[in-house]
């Protein structure tokens, strides 16, 4: 069958390209308009939220605010003890969740086939845990860490509870990072006589670092923004913690208390929210920088 050169929607034998018809071009433009409109709407909402927080909270922030004690239920003073408690809770969370998450991800990705019954059961359990409401984790942390283990309302109890919440996200993201590494890496390592442990350490782990970073970023974001779980575990007090076994208030709880329970605390709540956003961006940037620095060092020493 012959076709007229330049006929729309058919194969152009001169340059072997398919020329889309006018209807297809119109559909492409419509889809592009919808996609860009959704992206613009999301960007505008984000800019409006951040702009509102900056507008109402930036004037409250100073060095004294960041380092001073909480006074008058948060209407005066600063957030020094709250900031220290938040960082300590996050430190406990990451110190527990990162080694456990990395080890579990390696077990699922490298030592458990996809069709293995144990692996499927663990993955399904992690997917269910990732969707459990935070208040349920808070009640579990209160019953298990605070009461049964006798830790009481403490930074350790809050950090361990957050670790339980972060682990499903961290494990699944890191596992997908390992599974995205081509099998040629594993075959080449076996052909060179490398042990499985050496292959994981020197070949697979550097290639899977992006997945680990994604899990860390998502986990840090959830941990810093958590409120319900920490009310039942880390406590509500605003004093400076002297050890990990002391109770401490996180930034998210402080924002909630100022906005809901303290009359005239809205501006201070916006200031604390701005500090939380900046802290989240700084920690995510630090995680990405450390990962790239480690990868660069691995390449230089290889």
Confidence (pLDDT) at 300: 63
Confidence (pLDDT) at 298: 64
pLDDT digits (tens, 9 = 90+) for 8-23: 444 444 555 556 677 7
Q: What is the DSSP string of 196-247?
A: HHHHIIIIIHHHHHHHHHHHHHHHHHHHHH--HHHHTTT-S--SPPSSTTS-
Residue 76: beta bridge partners?
Answer: 71
Judging by DSSP bridges, how do beta strands 70-71 and 11-12 pair with one another?
unpaired
Contact 242, 154 (CB under 8 A): no
63-301 has which fold?
Answer: MetI-like fold (1.10.3720)
Confidence (pLDDT) at 16: 52
Q: How far is CA 134 from CA 107, 123, 247, 252, in A?
A: 27, 20, 19, 13
3-class SS of residue 288 = helix
What's the pTM? 0.82
pLDDT digits (tens, 9 = 90+) for 244-293: 899 988 999 999 888 888 888 888 888 899 999 898 888 888 887 877 77
């Amino acid at each position: 069958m012959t076709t007229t050169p330049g006929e729309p929607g058919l194969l152009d034998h001169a340059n072997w390209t398919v020329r889309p018809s006018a209807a297809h071009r119109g559909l492409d433009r419509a889809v592009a308009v919808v996609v860009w409109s959704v992206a613009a709407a999301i960007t505008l909402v984000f800019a409006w939220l951040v702009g509102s927080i900056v507008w109402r909270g930036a004037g409250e922030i100073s060095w004294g605010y960041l380092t001073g004690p909480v006074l008058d239920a948060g209407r005066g003073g600063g957030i020094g003890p709250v900031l220290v408690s938040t960082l300590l809770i996050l430190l406990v969370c990451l110190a527990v969740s990162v080694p456990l998450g990395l080890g579990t991800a390696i077990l699922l990705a490298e030592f458990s086939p996809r069709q293995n019954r144990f692996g499927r059961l663990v993955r399904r359990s992690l997917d269910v845990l990732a969707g459990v409401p935070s208040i349920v984790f808070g009640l579990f942390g209160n019953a298990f860490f605070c009461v049964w283990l006798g830790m009481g309302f403490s930074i350790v109890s809050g950090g361990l509870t957050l670790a339980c919440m972060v682990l499903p996200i961290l494990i699944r993201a890191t596992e997908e990072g390992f599974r995205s590494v081509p099998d040629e890496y594993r075959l080449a390592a076996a052909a060179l006589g490398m042990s499985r442990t050496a292959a994981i350490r020197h070949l697979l782990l550097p290639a899977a670092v992006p997945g680990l970073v994604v899990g860390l970023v998502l986990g840090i974001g959830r941990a810093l923004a958590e409120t319900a779980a920490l009310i039942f575990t880390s406590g509500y007090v605003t004093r400076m913690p002297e050890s990990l076994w002391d109770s401490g208030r996180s930034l998210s709880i402080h924002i909630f208390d100022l906005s809901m329970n303290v009359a005239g605390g809205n501006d201070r709540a916006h200031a604390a929210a701005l500090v939380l956003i900046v802290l989240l961006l700084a920690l995510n940037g630090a995680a990405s920088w450390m990962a790239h620095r480690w990868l660069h060092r691995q390449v230089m020493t290889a």
